[in-house]
């Protein structure tokens, strides 16, 4: 099977698994998604809506964003998702949001941090505190990042949930600040929550595989400094998100979210080269340490991802070959100094 169009891609990304359907059937109350306009939000909202419909239950999916991307609100409305245009940093907009039992927090800022650090801290730390207080009666599943961990020796298999946080750079520090805000208001109010430390979600329009495969296809050098990575199909990451409400606790549960493999960047490039009939060009050498998540606990709870890495490379290679559209948002996964 190949994916050759945006409608095909969106359908697969938003196709709920039986576990998603059961999770939405069991969920008590409606679902509010804050910051839906990013890379993962639209497909998460559609997956939730489809799962609810297949479960035969009556729940709302409410998607909140500034909706700066033309047409997105209309597309979500057409899929049965209620949309609210709001700037979460504005007191009036935040206060006007409906009280909903279940909240997914996705609002974040990463790129452009260097030189504008204050805005990154405002959006990644101050805003989560406001949201945590506003929705302290709700269950909250909030996206965090594996960037809160230090670079760890590759031979150790990645940071686990027990690895002490040691963020590198202001972006990563602000993400740890986000976690601390949700933890603080959980301690104050008893709010139930989950913090998902994600790296790296991908679909065919962005991500580590697209970044690496495109370099191989265009005969540009692949940097090996960050020699190992983790990836997970966006659809699988969103599936875990929907099922995580069942884990919500006070203090919030921390869960690494990524695929089970520790992938060599060199191997990824060679796999693309084999599919393209191209000899990859490399620069630099692999460091013994990398930013890696060990998601064994996630796989124990939810099972292995439904889409394998080999399948993802096949899909991505064909997408690159046919000139499929991209979000033009490089991952910069090879950055080692934390400056984005």
Give whole-number Cα distances, 266 to 81, 215, 218, 262, 292, in Å: 42, 12, 16, 12, 16
Q: How high is the pLDDT of residue 109?
A: 79
CATH of the domain at 248: 3.40.50.720
* Residue 221 included in any domain: no
Asked if the bond preceding 251 is cis, omega within 30° of 0, the reply is yes
* Residue 28 included in any domain: yes
Q: pTM higher than 0.75 for the full model?
A: yes
Cα atoms in the Cβ-side hemisphere of radius 13 Å centred on 251: 9
- By DSSP bridging, strand 289-290 and strand 152-153 are antiparallel
Alpha carbons 283 and 64: distance in angstroms, whole number: 42
| Residue 136 burial (10 A CB sphere; 0-12, 13-18, 19+) | middle
- Residue ranges making up the domain that contains 45: 6-201+233-259
* Residue 122 included in any domain: yes
Alpha carbons 79 and 143: distance in angstroms, whole number: 24
Q: How high is the pLDDT of residue 233?
A: 98
* Residue 169 included in any domain: yes
Q: How high is the pLDDT of residue 260?
A: 96
Q: How high is the pLDDT of residue 249?
A: 98
Report yes or no: 207 and 151 within 8 Å, Cβ to Cβ.
Answer: no
* Residue 67 included in any domain: yes
* Residue 223 included in any domain: no
* Residue 306 included in any domain: no
* Residue 216 included in any domain: no
Which residue stretches of the chain have pLDDT < 70?
Answer: none
Name the domain count of the chain.
1
């Amino acid at each position: 099977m190949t994916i050759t169009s945006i409608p095909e891609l969106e359908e697969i990304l938003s196709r709920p698994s039986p576990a998603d359907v059961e999770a939405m059937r069991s969920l008590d109350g409606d679902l509010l998604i804050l910051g839906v306009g990013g890379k993962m939000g639209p497909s998460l909202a559609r997956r939730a809506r489809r799962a609810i419909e297949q479960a035969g239950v009556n729940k709302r999916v409410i998607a909140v964003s500034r909706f700066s991307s033309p047409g997105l609100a209309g597309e979500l409305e057409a899929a049965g998702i209620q949309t609210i245009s709001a700037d979460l940093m504005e007191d009036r907009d935040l206060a006007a949001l409906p009280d909903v039992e279940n909240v997914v927090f996705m609002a974040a800022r990463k790129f452009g941090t260097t030189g504008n650090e204050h805005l990154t801290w405002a959006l990644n730390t101050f805003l989560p505190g406001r949201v945590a207080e506003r929705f302290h009666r709700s269950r909250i599943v909030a996206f965090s990042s594996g960037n809160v961990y230090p670079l760890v020796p590759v031979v150790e298999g990645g940071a686990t949930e027990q690895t002490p946080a040691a963020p590198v750079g202001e972006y990563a520090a602000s993400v740890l600040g986000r976690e601390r805000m949700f933890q603080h208001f959980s301690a104050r109010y008893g709010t139930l929550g989950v913090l998902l430390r994600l790296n790296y979600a991908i679909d065919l329009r962005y991500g580590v595989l697209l970044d690496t495969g495109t370099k191989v296809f265009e005969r540009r050098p692949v940097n090996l400094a960050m020699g190992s990575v983790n990836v997970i199909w966006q659809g699988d990451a969103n599936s875990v998100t929907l099922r995580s409400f069942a884990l919500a606790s006070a203090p919030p549960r921390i869960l690494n979210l990524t695929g089970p493999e520790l992938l060599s960047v060199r191997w990824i490039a060679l796999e693309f080269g084999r599919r393209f009939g191209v000899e990859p060009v490399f620069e630099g050498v692999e460091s013994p340490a990398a930013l890696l998540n060990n998601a064994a606990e996630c796989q124990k709870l939810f099972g292995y991802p439904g889409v394998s890495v080999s399948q993802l490379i096949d899909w991505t290679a064909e997408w690159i070959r046919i000139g499929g559209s991209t979000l033009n948002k490089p991952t910069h996964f090879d950055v080692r100094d934390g400056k984005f």
